[in-house]
Structure 1
Amino acid sequence: MTFQHPALLDWPVTDEDVRPLALWTSAEIAEATGGAASCDFQVSGIEIDSREVREGDLFFALKGENSDGHRFLAGAFGNGAQAAIVDRKIEQPHVLVGDTFEALQALGCAARARAAAHVIGVTGSAGKTGVKEALFAALDRGSRGRAHRSLKSYNNHVGVPLSLARMPSRTKFGVFEMGMNHPGELAELTRLVRPHVAIVTTIAPAHIGFFSGEEEIADAKGEIFEGLEPGGTAIVPADSPHFERLRAKAARHAGRVIGFGLSRTADVRVLDAVPAPGGGTLVTADLGGQRVCYTVAQEGAHWVANSLAVMAAVQAVGGDLGAAGLALAEMEGLAGRGARHTVEAEGGDGSGTALLIDESYNANPASMRATILQLGATPARRRIVVLGAMKELGAQEERYHAGLAEPLIEAGIDRAILVGDEMAALAGALGKRAGDSLAAAIEVDHVESTAKAAECLAEKPIAGGDAVLVKGSNSVGLGALVRALTARER
C-alpha cells in the first residue's frame, strides 16, 4: 500500500488554483467585448502592432486616422498570432466585433474587474515612467513575480486599455502609467484603471502650449484622483509649489493623502541623503513614523524624491519595503531616460572610455535643469551636452529655452551642441553671457538636426574621461545619435 502524507491530501485549494493559465479564452473575450468567436481558442498575449506579434498572441486590428490594422492581419498571423479581433469576418480564428477600439477598452475593463490586484496609477510632468518601472521592480520582487505594469510609455487612450487587457487574472499588484497633454484625458484614463493608489510625481511646464499655465497642468494631473477606488490613497509632491492645489483635489476623492519630499511637513520625507560608496544615494527616510534606509542606484536629487513616492506606494498597498529597497539599489537606467553607457574614446585622460548619459526620450524645462545639474556633479575631464529642442511649450517657448543657460553655467559645462530651431534662444542667451568669465568657457554649436550634431561630434570627438549628456524631446530624434555612440560601447 502506498503511503500518502496527510498534508498532501489536505492541501488547500484556493481561487488561484482554478483560474486558467491562459491570458484569455475565446469565450471570455467574446463575453467581455460583446463579440462573436469563430471557434474555441486561448491566447497568451495581446498586441496591436503586427510587427511585434509573438506566438500565441491576440492581435487587435485597430483603425487609426491614416491606417487600418486589418491590412496587417497576414503579417500578424505570419508572426504567430493565435487569433484576431476584427470588425469583418476572416478565415483565421477571430472574434467579430462592431468596433475594435471599443473592444480593446472593454477587454481592459474586464481585466481590471477580474483581477483581485492592488492597482497603482502614476502620472506627472516628469519621472512617471521611472517611478512606474521602480514600483514594478519593487512589487514584482516582493510578490515573487505576480506584479504587472504597462510596458514602454503605453500611457494614452490606446496604451492604457492595452496594458490593462494584458494583466493576468493572477496578478497581485498592477502598476499603470497615465499621460496627458489636454484637460480631460486623465479623467477618462483613470476611470479605466480605477487605482487604489494614485501618484503625481511632479508638476512642470510639459505640454504647457496646451494650457494657460502650470496651475492648469496641476489641475489636469489631479484628474487621476477622480478614478480612485473608495478609500484610496493619493500620493503628491510636497515640495511642489502646487502641493496645496493637488492636495485639495486629492482630498475630494481619496481616503488618505500622502505628501512626499524633502519638506519637513511631508508625510514621507528624507531624513538624510548622502552619496553611496558604489554610486547613487544612500537615503534614510521617514515613512510616516517608520524609518527606513536604502540605496537609490539612479543618480540625482530627482531620483531621491522619486524613491519616496515608490516607498510610499509600496507601503500603501502592503508591499515588502525590504524588497523595494533592494529593487531601488539594483535598478539600472532606462533607455532614453537615464541609461548610462561606457563608450570607447581616444585621447583625453588616457582611460580609453567616456560616459554617455542617455536622456534622449523626453525633455521639459524641469527635467532639463535636473539632468544638467546632475551632469555638473558627475566627475569628468570635460562635460558635454547635446540638447534637443523642447516641444509643446507654446508662447513661452523662447523663454524656457533661454532659461537653460543658467543651469549650464552652474554645472560647469564645457561644450554644448544645441539641436533644433527652438534652441536658437539658448544659443543667444549663452552668447550674451560670453563676457561672463563663468560662461566664456562654454563652447557652443547650434545645429539644425541630429545628423549635424553627429558631424560636430565627429569633428571634435568625445575623448577619454569625458561625460556626455544627450537629452531632448523624442521628436528631435536624438535616440539615433545615442545608438550611433553606443555602437562602440565597452
Structure 2
Amino acid sequence: MADVLWTAEEIAAATGGQVAGDFSAAGVSIDSRTVEPGDLFVALAGVRDGHEFVAQTAQKGAAGALVSQAVETPAVVVADTFKALEALGVAARERAPQARRGAVTGSVGKTSVTRAVEAGLRRAGKAHASVKSYNNHIGVPLTLARMPRDTQRAVFEVGMNHSGEITPLSKFIRPHAVAITTVGPVHLENFAEGEIGVAKAKAEIFDGLEPGGVAVLNADNQWFDLLKGEAEKAGAVVRDFGRDAAYARLVDFVVEGQGATVVAELDGQPLSFPIRQTGVHWGPNSLCVLLMLEALGVDRPTALAALADFAPIEGRGAELEIALKGGAFTLVDESYNANPVSMQAALATLGARKVAGRKIVALTDMLELGPDSPRFHAELSQAIEKAGIDLVFCAGPLMMSLWKALPQERRGGYADAAPALAQQIVEAMQPGDVVMVKGSNGSRAGAIAAALSALGLREQV
C-alpha cells in the first residue's frame, strides 16, 4: 500500500469516533465508483445513503470506512459522517503546520488558475491540491482530509452559489494567500443585490486568511476597490494584477502559434515570459498565478517554468484537430462552463486568432443569470461582431435571444437542445475552420464538443 495517510486511531481521535476494526488508509474517498485500494470510504448521505455501498467499496479494496451505523467491514463509527469529514480536514491542516496554503476563487478562471498554481507548487516541493472542481462544502473538507502530513504547500479551489458559503470554507483552509481572479454576473438569480452581492460573497475568502496573509486581486475588475477594502480590513497585504495594476502590470499579450508571450512589469521591473495559452484572459491570469506562487514561497524561475509548461485543460481551451474529407478543422473546447465574462473573453480570443478558414462558434445557454438573462445573451452579438466571427450556432431557449439579434449572414444553425446541434455544425465544417464550443454545464455544451469529435472521426473513416 502507498504511504499511510490515516490510521484508524488517528481518524477516531480527529472525529471523536470509535474504532471498529483496525486499519490504515492511504487515501480518502466519498464516491464508491472511484474508490481506490487502500482508501478510507466516507459514507455520506446523498441521493443514496453511502452506507449502502460500504461492502462494495471493501470488495474494491477500501481499507476501511467512516460510518454512522454498524457495518461488517473495518470502520470508525461516528455520530455524523459529514461533520466527521470536516473534523478530519481540520486535523489534517493542524498536523501539517509547515504547509503554506493558498485559496483561489472568482467568477471566471478559478479552476485553471488553481491548476496552474498547483503546477508551480509541485515543481517546488511536496505539494497538495484540489482535484477536479472540488470546491464546495464537501469538496474543500475532503481535499483537506487528503492532505499528507509532510505537505510543504497546498492550493484549494473555493466556489459558491450563494452568500455565506465561502466563509466557512476559508476558515477550514486558513490560507496564507488568496486570489480572486475576477468578479462578474454569475449566479445572479441567487443575489438580490445583483453583481455587488457576488463581489461581497467572493470577499468572504478573506474571512479565514492567516494574519499578514496576501490577497491577490484583479485591478481591472470594477469591484477592485470594494475587494481591496475588505482585504485590508482583514489585515491582508494586497497584491494587484492587470493592465491597471500597480504591482503586477500587464503591458502586452502577444499570441504566437499555440502559445503567447506575456509582457509585464512586476514590482516595477520588466518581465517577459512565454505561456502555452492563447486565451486573452491568460494575460492577467498568468500574473495572478505568479503572485500566488510568490506568496506561497515559490521562486520566480520555478514559477515561470511551470507557466511555460502548463497546457490548456479539457473543457477550458483544449484543442483538437478533427479530420474531414480534404483536410481538418480545429475544435476549441471551452465547454466546461460559461457566463457573460468568460464568454466575452473566449470570443475575443477567437477573434484575435489567425485562421486558414472561418471562425465559428457553437454556444449553449448561460444559466443562473436571473431576470436579465435574455439581455446578457442578446448582447453577445456585439462581442461576436467585434471579434469578426463568421458563423454562429446556438442551442437552447436562452440562446434564442442571441439568435434573433444576429444578422442573417452570421446564422449558422439553431437547435432547441445541444445534442441536436452537433450534426448541423459538422456538416458546415470546411478544412481550415476553427470552431469554439462554449456554454454552461447544465445546457450540455460538453455534449456538442464530444459529438463533434465523434462525428469528425466518423467522417475520417
Q: Is contact 1:139–1:320 with CA below 8 Å preserved after alignment? A: no
CA distance in 2, matches of 1:291, 1:362: 34
Do 2:67 and 2:78's aligned partners in 1 also have CA atoms closer than 8 Å?
yes
Q: Match for residue 436 of structure 2?
A: 469
**75-84 vs 47-56, which moves further:** 75-84
Aligned residues: 453
> Matched residues in 1 for 2:335 and 2:251: separation?
32
SS of 2:159's equivalent? coil
Q: Distance in 2 between matches of 1:403 and 1:361?
A: 21
Displacement after TM superposition at 1:114 (Å): 1.2
Aligned match of 2:305: 326
The question of 1:282 aligning with 2:261 is answered yes
The alignment status of 1:446 with 2:414, answered yes or no, reads yes
Matched, 1:422 2:398: yes
1:104-160 per-position Cα deviation (integer Å, ceiling 9, x unaligned): 1111111111112110000000000000000000111122xx111100011000111
For 1:231 and 1:441, the matched residues in 2 are separated by 56
Structure 2 equivalent of residue 9 of structure 1: none
Per-residue CA deviations over 1:43-91 (Å, capped at 9, x if unaligned) read: 1111111000011111111002x32111122321222111111111111
Deviation of 1:330 (Å): 1.4
1:417-442 C-alpha deviation (Å, 9 max, x unpaired): 11111111111111xxx3xxxxx531
SS in 2 for 1:357: strand
CA contact (8 A) 1:58 1:85 kept: yes
Of 148, 159, 179 in structure 2, the residue corresponding to residue 199 of structure 1 is 179
| Alignment-mate amino acid for residue 422 of structure 1 | L
Equivalent position of 2:341 in the other structure: 366
Deviation track 1:246-271 (CA, whole Å, cap 9, x = no partner) reads: 000000113311111111x4211124
Deviation at 1:331?
A: 1.2
CA distance in 1, matches of 2:447, 2:197: 34
CA distance in 1, matches of 2:155, 2:453: 30
**TM-score normalised by L of structure 2:** 0.95
Q: Is structure 2 residue 371 aligned with structure 1 residue 395?
A: yes
1:417 alignment partner AA: F
Deviation for aligned residue 1:303: 0.6
- Name 1:7's counterpart in structure 2: none
> Within 5 Å, which residues of 2 pair with 1:270-309?
270-276=250-256, 278-309=257-288
> In the aligned structure 2, how far is the partner of 1:374 from the partner of 1:267?
25
Residue by residue over 1:388-411, the C-alpha shift from the partner in whole angstroms, topping out at 9 and shown as x without a partner, is 100000011011000100111112
Q: Return the alpha-carbon distance in structure 2 between the equivalents of residues 461 and 152 of structure 1.
A: 33
Q: 1 CA distance for matches of 2:419 and 2:390?
A: 21
How many angstroms does 1:208 deviate by? 1.1
2:222 aligns to what? 241
Structure 2 Cα separation of the partners of residues 322 and 353 of structure 1: 38
Does 2:73 align with 1:92?
A: yes
Distance 1:255 1:383 in 2: 44
Q: The residue matched to 2:250 in structure 1 has which SS?
A: strand
Shift of 1:481: 2.3
Gaps of 5+ in 2: none
CA–CA separation in structure 2 for the residues paired with 1:320 and 1:215:
35
| Contact persistence 2:108–2:181 (CA under 8 A) | yes
Q: What value does the CA root-mean-square deviation take over the aligned residues?
A: 1.6
Q: Do residues 53 (structure 1) and 35 (structure 2) align?
A: yes
Equivalent residue letter for 1:118: R
Which of 53, 60, 67 is equivalent to 2:48? 67
1:375 aligns with 2:375: no
2-side partners of 1:251 and 1:282: how far apart? 32
Question: Are 1:390 and 1:422, in contact at CA under 8 Å, matched by a contact in 2?
Answer: yes
1:127 corresponding residue in structure 2: 109
Residue pair 1:128, 1:177 contacting (<8 A) in 2 also:
yes
Partners of 1:271 and 1:467 lie apart in 2 by: 28
Q: Distance in 1 between matches of 2:121 and 2:358?
A: 39
- Give the Cα–Cα distance (whole angstroms) in 2 for the partners of residues 62 and 209 of structure 1: 29
Aligned equivalents of 2:236, 2:384: Cα separation in 1? 43
Cα distance in structure 2, aligned partners of 1:63 and 1:446: 41
Of residues 184-193 and 370-379 in structure 1, the stretch that sits farther from structure 2 once superposed is 370-379
Q: Give the Cα separation in 1 of the matches to 2:388 and 2:30.
A: 45
CA 1:37–1:291: 2 relative to 1, 3 Å? farther
Whether the 8 Å CA contact 2:175–2:209 is kept in 1: the answer is: yes
| 1:230 counterpart = 2:198 | no
Q: Which has the larger radius of gyration?
A: 1
Amino acid across the alignment from 2:107: S
Q: Is 1:161 aligned to 2:141, yes or no?
A: yes
Does 2:386 align with 1:405? no
Q: What TM-score, normalized by structure 1, do the two folds share?
A: 0.89
SS in 1 for 2:196: helix
27, 31, 34: which one aligns with 2:9: 27
CA–CA separation in structure 2 for the residues paired with 1:427 and 1:293 = 41
Aligned residue for 1:311? Answer: 290
Aligned partner of residue 422 in structure 1, secondary structure:
coil
Give how far 1:414 is off: 1.8
Q: Secondary structure at 1:179's aligned position in 2?
A: coil
The answer on whether the counterparts of 2:21 and 2:73 sit within 8 Å (CA) in structure 1 is: no
Equivalences for residues 234-273 of structure 1 within 5 A: 234-263=215-244, 265-273=245-253
Counterparts of 1:377 and 1:194, CA distance in 2: 40
Post-superposition offset of 1:291 = 4.0
Give how far 1:25 is off: 1.0
